Amino acid sequence: MKTDSATGLIEVFSSLQGEGLFLGYRQIFVRFPGCNLACSYCDTPLAMPEQCRVETEPGSGQFRLIPQPVPFSTLYDLAASWCVDLPDAHHSFSITGGEPLLHAGVLAVWLPRLREILPIYLETNGTLPDALSPLLHLLDYICMDIKLPSVAGTGDLWEEHRRFLELARETEVSVKMIVGPQTTDQELLMACDLVSDVDPEIPLVLQPQTGRDGTVTVAAVQLLHWQSLAARLLADVRVIPQTHRFMGVL
């Protein structure tokens, strides 16, 4: 595949990171379609649209539609022009989905060129270690999920997560766990044990599940309890809710 290749994308826009360790950093988001999981709380559009929506001006929230598949040169020129118009405003590209590692072949070709513009931050569900492996040298930051079966309804993914994290630690990696009213202490400790076994210095973000109206579904006292449990095993544990909805950003 060449860098003049084209692929289907859902959307490209400039906004603030709304969750995880990099909350508040401005990024250029490139959203890929499709996912290998079906989490019970997923509210992300996953299907490939007939046209890709691209922000007309960075941060405007106004979009135009462009034909699929999107040529690499279109994405590159757009991102480069936004970085000229708004020098130093963006921290990184957020390569997101869906599950972007389903497009590992495209990423292998596109990321070296995109990285000329901005560092690369990968948002991933942390279940495709074989797809991650050949891309590691192209990634600056990884935010990986650990899916708690009680909340995500995905079944047991511990082994996939362990293999993924062992690879991802070669970059600047952080772990995000969505916790909900169903989460048990035992399940949380299993996940923290997994992270600690790989490296207890890896930052962990506990993200309380957010309802459709933007309200947090877990009481503060419960979140503080889980934070104290996780902190026995890990050096850097934070509780950060999703902020997109109440901030009114994309």
Cβ proximity to ligand SF4, 58 vs 208, nearer residue: 208
Residue with tokens 């060449």: 2
- Binding of residue 99 to ligand SF4 (CB under 6 A): yes
- Binding of residue 35 to ligand SF4 (CB under 6 A): yes
Q: Phi and psi (nearest 5°) for 191?
A: -65, -40
Cβ proximity to ligand SF4, 58 vs 126, nearer residue: 126
Q: Which of 1, 3, 4, 42 binds ligand SF4 (CB under 6 A)?
A: 42
How many residues make up the chain in this entry? 250
Q: Which 196-215 residues touch ligand SF4, going by CB under 6 A?
A: none
Q: Which of 20, 33, 58, 98 binds ligand SF4 (CB under 6 A)?
A: 98
Q: Which of 3, 4, 38, 215 binds ligand SF4 (CB under 6 A)?
A: 38
Residue with tokens 């962990």: 204
Say how far apart CA 179 and CA 207 lie, in whole Å: 6
Cβ proximity to ligand SF4, 5 vs 44, nearer residue: 44
Find out whether 76 and 117 touch, Cβ atoms under 8 Å: yes
Q: Which strand (E) or helix (H) includes residue 14?
A: strand 11-16
- Binding of residue 96 to ligand SF4 (CB under 6 A): no
- Binding of residue 97 to ligand SF4 (CB under 6 A): yes
Q: Which residues pair with 6 in a beta bridge?
A: 71
Say how far apart CA 11 and CA 82 lie, in whole Å: 15
Interface ranges with ligand SF4 (CB under 6 A): 35, 37-39, 42, 44, 97-99, 125
